A = this chain, B = another copy of it.
Amino acid sequence: MREVFQQELREVQDQLVEIADLVATSITAATRAFTESNVSLAEQVIDNDRRIDELAVSLDERAIDILARQQPVARDLRIVVSALRISASLERMGDIAEHIAQLARYRFPEKAVPKGLRSTFAEMGRLDVEIAVMLTELLRTQDVELAEQIRNEDDKIDELHVSVFDKVLGETWKGEPAATVDATLASRYHERFADHAVSIAKKVQYLATGDWAQDSSTD
């Protein structure tokens, strides 16, 4: 029974890695779609998100089935509950990648990235992709060093997020309202994407350290 359970937990973990991998693919394509105003890439991200949603639903059903049949307690129970939470965050990250890609579609054939903010959004996109790749690796290896690195990258995103507002609220900003809207939304999406990664990283860390109480926090 115990061996079957461990095998089932590994399968849940594998499926989380698979979803995280798709999220990394999505944010990579979404970032390119946004910065290059590439509409066909944007459509790929939208298709990809459907797959992420399906996998998240199937993982959740599997986790609930494990709870019902194996009735785990203590750390094993925490692992299964965390898997449910991690899948919800990954699903949300897929949605956000889709939102970023959609910005490219709404403005097409205009560029969605506002002038004066190209390098900022290139950097935010690069950091979000890096975070998604590290997250996949963290879920695969449970190497908590990666959790720390994800937090550091998130700090950089937060700084860039503030800098976007400094820019659009500054005296030199000449953007049209559409550029201001796009800058506001894109910055917010990039920041939220990274926040979800940090939230997942914390859950993996808490599972490793046994500090359960903190695990319930959804921030």
Contact = CB atoms under 8 A, between A and B. Distances in A.
Interface string A91-105: 110010000000000
B61 A78 contact: no
Nearest to A61: B216
Contact of A84 (B84, B184, B185, B188): B84
Interface residues of chain A: helix, strand, loop or mixed (majority) = helix
When all copies of this chain in the complex are counted, the total is 2
Nearest to A95: B219
Contact of A216 (B56, B71, B169, B188): B56
Given A73-B68, A81-B84, A88-B88, A60 B178 contact: no
Contacts of A207: none
Contact of A177 (B53, B67, B175): B175
A165 interface: yes
